């Protein structure tokens, strides 16, 4: 595979010999001239909630971005006890039991995130897009203390659950070898301004218009995820 990066462009070319038919020359098989598989680059943004994330995938060059996927990605088994709010569920448990429950929930959520993102990546590939990066929107909370301290504070329990599901998505991207960028929500607009400069307002307007054309839902979740994806795409 040969990757060629161009200035101010978010496109890559992937040359796959397997897409070229073989023909026999003097007893040897050689690739025929012709078909080259050209893939456009794409990036995914996710805004995470308890048990799910709002995902938007953006593709195309700066100034001509397009939305190529929009999903609500659920990464819990709704029938599993305590899966949607694992820290709330273990709040009154003995510490070791709480740790076991959280570990089991983490395993399930990471598996479901990996399954979902693998499928989305494959669908994008079939449509001619290569996933080159991802963005996960972060809270502004400080690093979490030990589990016993978290469970003693209802505010920290909420913070821990947000981080818990962000980690599930992060680990899934890492398994897929997709680079992950964390962007704090309160810094998203500043990051967009830094990345796009004078065209930042135009990018936001374009994203709003694309979302309206797709139809509902086009909430703040999707808008922020799309902008984060566009930033990552432009920075590649």
Greater confidence, 17 or 158? 158
Residue 31 pLDDT greater than 60, yes or no = no
From CA 117, how far away is CA 178, in angstroms rounded?
10
Greater confidence, 36 or 121? 121
pLDDT for res 209:
87
Q: Say whether both 32 and 52 belong to one domain.
A: no
- Mean pLDDT of all residues in 15-35: 40
Q: Say whether both 31 and 53 belong to one domain.
A: no
From CA 82, how far away is CA 89, in angstroms rounded?
5
Lowest mean pLDDT segment, chosen from 23-27, 145-149, 172-176: 23-27
Q: Say whether both 7 and 89 belong to one domain.
A: no
Could you list the residue range(s) of the whole structural domain that residue 29 is in?
Answer: 1-38
From CA 3, how far away is CA 12, in angstroms rounded?
6
Tokens of residue 186, six digits: 């309160």
- Show Cβ contacts of residue 108 under 8 Å, excluding neighbours closer than 6 positions: 76, 77, 80, 83
Q: Say whether both 165 and 182 belong to one domain.
A: yes
Percent of the chain beyond pLDDT 90?
73
Residue 26 pLDDT greater than 70, yes or no = no
Among residues 109, 10, 98, the alpha carbon closest in space to that of 53 is found at 109
pLDDT for res 213:
84
From CA 120, how far away is CA 130, in angstroms rounded?
11
Q: Say whether both 49 and 85 belong to one domain.
A: yes
Q: Say whether both 9 and 58 belong to one domain.
A: no
pLDDT band for position 37 (cuts 50, 70, 90)? low
Q: Say whether both 18 and 86 belong to one domain.
A: no
Q: Say whether both 30 and 66 belong to one domain.
A: no
Taking the model in full, what pTM does it have? 0.82
pLDDT for res 70:
95
- Mean pLDDT of all residues in 8-16: 31
Q: How many domains does the chain have?
A: 2
pLDDT for res 40:
92
- Mean pLDDT of all residues in 60-82: 91
Q: Say whether both 102 and 196 belong to one domain.
A: yes
pLDDT, tens only, 95-112? 999 999 999 999 999 999
Q: Would you give the distance in Å from CA 187 to the centre of its chain?
A: 18
- CATH code, domain carrying 111: 3.30.420.10
Residue 63 pLDDT greater than 80, yes or no = no
Q: Say whether both 3 and 110 belong to one domain.
A: no
Residue 94 pLDDT greater than 90, yes or no = yes
Q: Say whether both 55 and 145 belong to one domain.
A: yes
Question: Under a CB-based contact definition with an 8 Å cutoff, are residues 55 and 31 in contact?
Answer: no
From CA 45, how far away is CA 154, in angstroms rounded?
28
Q: Say whether both 197 and 151 belong to one domain.
A: yes
pLDDT for res 12:
27
User: Is the preceding peptide bond at 198 cis, omega within 30 degrees of 0?
Assistant: no
pLDDT, tens only, 173-189? 999 999 999 999 999 99
Q: What φ, ψ does residue 133 adopt, rounded to 5°?
A: -175, 165
């Amino acid at each position: 595979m040969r990757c060629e990066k161009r200035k101010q462009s978010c496109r890559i070319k992937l040359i796959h010999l397997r897409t070229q038919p073989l023909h026999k020359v003097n007893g040897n098989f050689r690739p025929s001239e012709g078909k080259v598989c050209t893939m456009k680059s794409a990036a995914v943004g996710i805004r995470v909630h308890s048990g799910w994330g709002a995902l938007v995938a953006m593709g195309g060059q700066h100034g001509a971005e397009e939305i190529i996927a929009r999903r609500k990605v659920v990464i819990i088994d709704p029938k599993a006890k305590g899966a949607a709010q694992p820290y709330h569920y273990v709040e009154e448990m003995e510490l070791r039991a709480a740790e076991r429950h959280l570990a089991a929930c983490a395993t399930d959520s990471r598996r479901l995130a990996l399954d979902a993102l693998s499928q989305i990546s494959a669908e994008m590939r079939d449509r001619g897009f290569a996933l080159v990066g991802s963005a996960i929107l972060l809270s502004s909370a400080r690093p979490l203390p030990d589990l016993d301290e978290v469970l003693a504070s209802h505010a920290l329990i909420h913070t821990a659950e947000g981080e818990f599901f962000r980690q599930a998505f992060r680990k899934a991207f890492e398994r897929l070898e997709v680079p992950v960028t964390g962007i704090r929500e309160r810094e998203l607009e500043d990051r967009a301004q830094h990345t796009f400069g004078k065209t930042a307002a135009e990018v936001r307007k374009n994203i709003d218009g694309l979302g309206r054309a797709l139809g509902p839902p086009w909430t703040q979740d999707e808008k922020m995820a799309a902008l984060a994806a566009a930033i990552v795409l432009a920075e590649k």
